[in-house]
Structure 1
């Protein structure tokens, strides 16, 4: 009997600096985005190109033209299609996308066009999944599109709150695609989440607030003098260490079963 696949930590990075910090901490994959405070939107072409030049781990790019819902018009879908094409041209490893219809179903026609444009790139269906009306039906639709994974919190504010629903999705997927929990994951709960869901891939931002380096401040414009959020290499390392410990225990248990 073979051991389960090694766990992977994907980090949502809102800048090249965040992506490099995540890589330093041992992340297995980057999801590059902008405006993480809004749930993430597509980063600029230059940001993607620079990250691709600097990273040695897989780079996936969020394809989302705006914050808000996931019901997109023709112009927004054209923008997403061109962003996917740019990611292909830049040599990215994958894209992260999702489109719904007004009834809360996966918009298979629009998604199929985007997946087709991605070609050989990997495709993750993002947390638009948490807004669907029927998760079981939606999961089958995502699998049918050829996506390799789905990112979800189990339709709750955090993955720990949605752990039961995530476990059901893992069972339904049955290895046909990866169910990757995301939202509110940190070193203190990732082991419990893995045990509760059976998931092997996890998504976190591992971010911390950095103060602004500006010494000059303009009175009355405090909102323009804040610092930035950046992925923290130490937090990433802490989560990766937990996952490595879990993997080591799995391998030991598998070996023991094989010897008995």
Structure 2
């Protein structure tokens, strides 16, 4: 069976993802920045709305993955708080200035997670040597690695993903993410042999605003309307599952 992790940033998206057949959620805020740590209120509402495991991302800001001492302290506190309110695991990662996994920082963060499983998010794709970083991730105690194979999308990185899957064996899970759709998922899985895939699987939703004053330019996500937003699409996940022959 292929495990599907949906990356969501709202309660509505979380519910849609579960209804569509997703097996796990990565919960974020600010998806336009690649995802940051969700608020406590958002996390609590999501875990009461769904039954599937919820992994909050631990990322105090957008931008790079090189963190200061104070940022690390924030991350540790977020982990400790979210553990107490039902986190099933975490998604995180820290790098050095030279593009390697930051051994000390990741150790601190993983220790804070206790016995809960930890995913190394796409900070992995920012490292200089993916093969070496995979070995480091395993040694650090990460349970899985989210990656596009170092490319702009997982389909483009399918060959590298296949190499990483072979290298990982049963020691650590490779989860493919970025640019995966119902149309390309089956071919990606066939080429790469990944057993887990990740994505927002979202479509544009019209907001409820009736009075629309065109006073401001779109402030984010210019590919959608100023008064619209993106939300996980239940039918998209269901179609993807059908196309790859997986199960809910």
TM range (shorter): over 0.9
User: How large is the RMSD of aligned CA atoms in angstroms?
Assistant: 1.3
The 5 Å alignment of 1:1-260 reads 6-223=1-218, 225-243=226-244, 245=245
Structure 1 or 2, whichever has the larger Rg, is 1
Give 1:215 deviation, angstroms: 1.0
How many residues get paired?
241
Give 1:246 deviation, angstroms: 5.6
Unaligned runs of 5+ in 1: 1-5, 248-260
Partner of 1:258: none
Change (3 A) 1:246 1:10: closer
- Bigger share in helix: 1
Change (3 A) 1:147 1:237: same
Give 1:214 deviation, angstroms: 0.9
Equivalent-residue separation in structure 2 for 1:246 and 1:215 (angstroms) = 41
Q: Is the 8 A contact 1:87 1:95 kept in 2?
A: no
TM-score scaled by structure 2?
0.94
Unaligned runs of 5+ in 2: 220-225
Give 1:218 deviation, angstroms: 2.0
Equivalent-residue separation in structure 1 for 2:150 and 2:33 (angstroms) = 17
Equivalent-residue separation in structure 1 for 2:122 and 2:188 (angstroms) = 18
Equivalent-residue separation in structure 1 for 2:58 and 2:203 (angstroms) = 24
TM-score scaled by structure 1?
0.90
Equivalent-residue separation in structure 1 for 2:184 and 2:194 (angstroms) = 13
